[in-house]
Amino acid sequence: MKDEAAAAIAAGPDSHRDRFSVTLYGWFVVWGWLLYSFNPSVPLIAAEMRVTKAVAGLHGTAIAAGVILAGILTPRLVERFGRQAVLVLAGPVVAAGTLMLITGPGIAWTMGGVFVVAASASIAVGAAQAGLVMRHQGRSSASVAEANGVGSTVGLLGPLAVGACVAAGWGWRPAVAVTGVLALGTAFAISRLPARTVSAPIRATGEVQRARRLPTSSWFYLAALVAALAMENATTFWSADLLIEHSGAGPGIATAAVAGLVAGMSAIRFVVGPLSLRIAPAHLLAAAFGVAILGWAVLWAATTPSLALVGLVLAGLGYGAQYPLAISLLLVAARGATDRAQARAMLAGGLAIGIAPFVLGALADAVGAHTAFVLVPVLAIIGASAALAGPGSVSRELARQERADAVSG
């Protein structure tokens, strides 16, 4: 079985864009469209259903609960049924959850629908992401960054679609409905891949990971990952509300302006992947948090929609680099416990996704969106500190291992 896994991983050593990898990118597209079409719709749902921002922010909690459940289930599902079956079956489940989300008559239905979509899509993304890292090894940062870049590039159309649908009087639902269509298309494409190249790596790693614990250094990168996800989701949930409150933008324009954030995220992901092969990824990650703070400052100070859009694009340049770098560093630092690290990332990330939008929404209810957004640079400072601490921890672990090997030898 190990020989089979090695053969599958070695099938595309010279490029991170083989058929296997590009097809798996489809699940990143599904996730990107979900986040960037639904998250900006939350203020619209709050207004439509006449609930507070804090209650509407519970949609983030529902997404988080789905991600957490996925973190628990993914390693078990892919080991028991194989990666291909998991990636294919996730498609109709996402489609069913999307239907529930867009047809639900009340807040409980929309939260239930987004929970189902988030859980099933997260399982697929987790299985796909671990597979990309195992397949491309030393080029994993480039592969993961590009996969997320493709997802956010297509997701860029999400806020624009929501804004267009709102302006046309159709509401947010038609744009979000595209999530289910993309999921079914991705599932079909993966079903056409040769089974051996999809399933072999995941089965082999299951054997390794049961005997491994996560190294201490991986926890620093996990902290950076949590900070990055908290910032991204809090901003995509409530930046439209900030624009309405502080820059005077209308609901349609404010929602569509979130596309500026996604545009910055998409652009940088196609740059940071190749760049990470030349510059230490941990240093790039710390710099990305710094860029995010700069973008936040422009957004926070903006009193016109055009300046706020500049801030969103600049913030996106920071946000976009954070997740792929952090997850790549985490999975590499795990040193063999790839799926276990991916599961921990999903569990911790789910908590961040659930807590951050709710907290920022509750703060916005209490003190206004403008003051509440001070939470963002606080998270960025935490993330940058964790990123800078990671390499030192890795070096100390390797030194201890070398000493132990010398003694045992």
Measured CA to CA, the distance from residue 69 to residue 30 in angstroms comes to 18
List of residues 6+ apart from 233 with CB closer than 8 A: 35, 39, 60, 63, 352, 353, 356, 357
Measured CA to CA, the distance from residue 250 to residue 229 in angstroms comes to 27
Contact status, residue 15 vs residue 274, Cβ threshold 8 Å: no
Contact status, residue 218 vs residue 334, Cβ threshold 8 Å: yes
Which H or E run includes 6? helix 2-9
Contact status, residue 393 vs residue 216, Cβ threshold 8 Å: yes
- The dihedral through the CA atoms of 129, 88, 23, 31 has a sign that is negative
- The dihedral through the CA atoms of 399, 141, 237, 244 has a sign that is positive
For tokens 């489809």, the residue is 26
Query: Quick count: other Cβ atoms within 10 Å of Cβ 277?
Result: 11
Measured CA to CA, the distance from residue 78 to residue 247 in angstroms comes to 47
What's the whole-model pTM score? Answer: 0.75
Measured CA to CA, the distance from residue 123 to residue 118 in angstroms comes to 8
Q: What is the pLDDT of residue 53?
A: 75
Measured CA to CA, the distance from residue 28 to residue 71 in angstroms comes to 16
* Spatial CA neighbour of 155 closest among 322, 28, 42, 323: 28
The mean predicted confidence, pLDDT, of the chain is 83
Q: What is the pLDDT of residue 356?
A: 85
Q: What is the DSSP string of 303-365?
A: -SHHHHHHHHHHHHHHHHHHHHHHHHHHHHHTTT-HHHHHHHHHHHHHHHHHHHHHHHHHHHH
Q: What is the pLDDT of residue 182?
A: 96
Contact status, residue 113 vs residue 107, Cβ threshold 8 Å: no
What CATH number should be reported for the domain whose range is 2-402? 1.20.1250.20
Q: What is the DSSP string of 375-388?
A: HHHHHHHHHHHHHH
pLDDT, one tens digit per residue, over 313-358 is 999 999 999 988 998 888 888 776 777 788 888 888 888 877 888 8
Query: Quick count: other Cβ atoms within 10 Å of Cβ 138?
Result: 9
Across 42-162, the runs of DSSP E, i.e. the strands, are none
Contact status, residue 148 vs residue 357, Cβ threshold 8 Å: no
Question: How many angstroms from the chain centroid is the CA of residue 61?
Answer: 15
Measured CA to CA, the distance from residue 112 to residue 288 in angstroms comes to 34
What residue segments make up the domains of the chain, in order of their start? 2-402
Q: What is the DSSP letter of 106?
A: S
Contact status, residue 397 vs residue 220, Cβ threshold 8 Å: no
Write out the two tokens for 292. Answer: 């995010």
Residues (pLDDT < 70) of the chain are 1-17, 136-141, 195-211, 213, 336, 398, 402, 404-409
Query: Quick count: other Cβ atoms within 10 Å of Cβ 48?
Result: 14
